[in-house]
Structure 1
Amino acid sequence: MDVSAHPLVARARRLATELLLPEAQRVDRDGVPVSHVTAVKRSGLLGVVAPEAYGGSGAPAAVLRETAEILAGACCSTWFVQTQHHTPVQTLAKSGLPVRERLLGPLSRGELLSGVAYAHLRAHPRVPVRARRERGGWRFDGTVPWYTGWGLNDVLLLAGVTDADEVLFAFAEAREQPGLRASAPLRLAALSAARTVSLELAGLWLPEEAVALRTPYDAWAPADRARTLNANPAVFGIAEAALSLPAEPVAGPLRDRLGDVRRRAYALADHPEPLEHAAERLAVRAEAFEVLGAATTAAVVAGGGRALALSSRAQRLAREGLFLLVQGQTAETRAAHLRALTGAAG
């Protein structure tokens, strides 16, 4: 399939060219504005993989990857805010619970933007957020270390672990309320603009009707592991953007390497068995980061001293590349990446 001809890919390119790229340095300094979120909502990109019956486009995964590359290469902070939205949409599309009918349409049509608060589940068997039965609903207690899009999202998909070792996902309004308090925005070396905070939960109560998923941890974990094994499309988007800065004798060979890794990464991502070839997936993931590092380094070197100015696109892309090294990281991906860096056998 030639995804470049898909209407949503054309919309992503137009959004990137007309808004995201021209504003990217200002956004990096001042934060993702509400107007960017409004533009993304209007573009239809929030419903790229959402069911058509609920107002989405039902596009294949290849279109989601292509649009992610385009948005991340233009403004990684805006991409990172909106990319959180696709997990709630996909969770609701598979859910048979009442919240599906309440929220899947508004999320698919881009009327609402959702964030996610579930990466802490990867700390299992440690339980940073506990969910317990209370008053016909669920009480959440604990700490969400990272929550992106605070002040921009309309709703959030929150996960906790029950006393029966189940994972429980439920929707809440993305605002301070009894039992939910946000920290000040975290100061990060990159993507501070994405408005990331930590959330303190002290008796946040959500009704049963807010629950989107409840399943044993051991049943949920394999699908989550599969998501983390593959290379992130944003890696290719930022690398491609970086390679627009050095001269062609430098960019050309790196672009060839990037294209080769990208083809192999996406072939693995499209494999019908998402947990097969795990070692190869991790190796290709590490290789993608190697090319990303070379591309952003080349951009900085080519820019010379000017590349260190905060107004420089080269240094922003380099910092965004550093961010992607740890975004979505698990103990397994960290170990595989470190082995690749040292040349150790898997």
Structure 2
Amino acid sequence: MDMTPTCAHPLLDRARRLAADLLVPEAERVDQEGVPASHIEAVKRSGLLGAGAPVAYGGSGAPPGVVRRIAEILAGACCSTWFVQTQHHTPVQILARSELPVRERLLGPLSRGELLSGVAYAHLRSYPRIPVRVRREGRGWRFEGSVPWYTGWGLNDVMLLAGVSDDDEVLFAFTEARGRPGLRASEPMRLAALTATRTVSLELTGLWLPEEAVALRTRYERWAPADRARTLNAGPAVFGVAEAALSLLDPKTAAPFTARLADVRRRAYALADHPAPLERVVERLAVRAEAYEVLRTATTAAVVAGGGRSMALTSRAQRLAREALFLLVQGQTAESRAAHLRALAGA
């Protein structure tokens, strides 16, 4: 079941082949055992890591609709693999806009899929609390604090690490994704869903990075609005997992769910493409909550249709239902949480 209007693009063909040949057949095993390095190598070879990256640096420069559909396909096939690789696209976007020297060193390898990047910046959303502080030292910067969540440990080649200075400047810098003096990772977390993503916390005890590693420096108040805009809309993974769940139903049973999913998806993407990303905020949050309700309904229907078999860890329906729980809180902010709770209460 492919809800996307007819759209020919070679990256979509690659995503569908990767999903059908590798991700879907292995998804239940990966869910229990972890995302293997071989999956990451397959994603790198596919060219999908450079989907939205600049053509001049080896990327594909694909339009937003294609990039979103790739995310839907991968998330619906294996949400754990999707979540590891999706971290990569923010560093690419930041480098594409950067004018600092690190752009020439890393944008090409990241756009071509030679390197996979993770991210350690969601803690910035807890401001004015500052979990990671950064201060100038010599020809570089010293990081201190704790990163609560870091996905892809042991799979990523590099990470984009963020902190806040004493004068409220946010700083993003690249470093190798490995433990060393000043950087220690916890054991991988056991989670209700997506344990397979090798998510850890990071302790930073004076990690020093050179000036040449810096990709972005800006005032917090300049960075925050763009980040807020990213959290107002329903993400593609929500629609990909819902679509995968509905594919487990017979067509007649699935039809009304599919129609509702297509409607919410259309409205969500229309808002995402709106030229003013911080306008119509109430509507964006309402559609986001509606998308989650469609996701919950679709995955619940798949579990019900599967009967007792859905309780087995080898059940695709049960895995998708747990992944849906994860997506409820992925990228969540206080603003989106409050709107979602109001929607659940019928307010």
TM range (shorter): over 0.9
TM-score by length of 2: 0.98
The answer on 1:285 being equivalent to 2:307 is no
Give me the whole-angstrom Cα distance separating, in 2, the residues matched to 1:227 and 1:106.
25
Letter of the 1:315 counterpart? Q
User: 2:42 is matched with which residue?
Assistant: 39
User: 2:258 is matched with which residue?
Assistant: 255
Give me the whole-angstrom Cα distance separating, in 2, the residues matched to 1:91 and 1:2.
30
Letter of the 1:121 counterpart? L
Q: Given that residues 158 and 169 in structure 1 are in contact (C-alpha distance below 8 angstroms), is that contact kept between their aligned partners in structure 2?
A: yes
Give me the whole-angstrom Cα distance separating, in 2, the residues matched to 1:95 and 1:213.
7
User: 2:144 is matched with which residue?
Assistant: 141
User: 1:122 is matched with which residue?
Assistant: 125
1:99 to 95, 99, 102: 102
1:220 to 223, 226, 233: 223
Unaligned ranges ≥5, structure 2: none
In the TM superposition, 1:166-181 aligns within 5 A as 166-181=169-184
The answer on 1:209 being equivalent to 2:212 is yes
Letter of the 2:221 counterpart? D
Q: Given that residues 148 and 197 in structure 1 are in contact (C-alpha distance below 8 angstroms), is that contact kept between their aligned partners in structure 2?
A: yes
- Deviations for 1:187-234, whole angstroms, at most 9, x for unmatched residues? 000000010000000000000000000000000000000000000100
Letter of the 2:273 counterpart? D
Q: After TM superposition, give the deviation of residue 178 of structure 1 in Å.
A: 1.2
TM-score by length of 1: 0.98
Give me the whole-angstrom Cα distance separating, in 1, the residues matched to 2:52 and 2:342.
34
Give me the whole-angstrom Cα distance separating, in 2, the residues matched to 1:205 and 1:17.
43
User: 1:324 is matched with which residue?
Assistant: 327
User: 1:77 is matched with which residue?
Assistant: 80
Q: After TM superposition, give the deviation of residue 277 of structure 1 in Å.
A: 0.6
Q: Given that residues 185 and 196 in structure 1 are in contact (C-alpha distance below 8 angstroms), is that contact kept between their aligned partners in structure 2?
A: yes
1:159 to 158, 162, 184: 162
- Deviations for 1:256-313, whole angstroms, at most 9, x for unmatched residues? 0000000000000000111111110000000000000000000000101110000000
Q: After TM superposition, give the deviation of residue 4 of structure 1 in Å.
A: 3.1
The answer on 1:16 being equivalent to 2:19 is yes
Letter of the 1:105 counterpart? G
Give me the whole-angstrom Cα distance separating, in 1, the residues matched to 2:6 and 2:193.
30
Letter of the 2:265 counterpart? R
Unaligned ranges ≥5, structure 1: none
Q: Give % identity.
A: 79
In the TM superposition, 1:227-242 aligns within 5 A as 227-242=230-245
Report how many residues are paired: 344
- Deviations for 1:69-106, whole angstroms, at most 9, x for unmatched residues? 00000000000000000000000000000000000000
Give me the whole-angstrom Cα distance separating, in 2, the residues matched to 1:218 and 1:250.
48
Letter of the 1:109 counterpart? R
Give me the whole-angstrom Cα distance separating, in 2, the residues matched to 1:11 and 1:63.
12
2:201 to 198, 202, 226: 198
Give me the whole-angstrom Cα distance separating, in 2, the residues matched to 1:308 and 1:115.
33
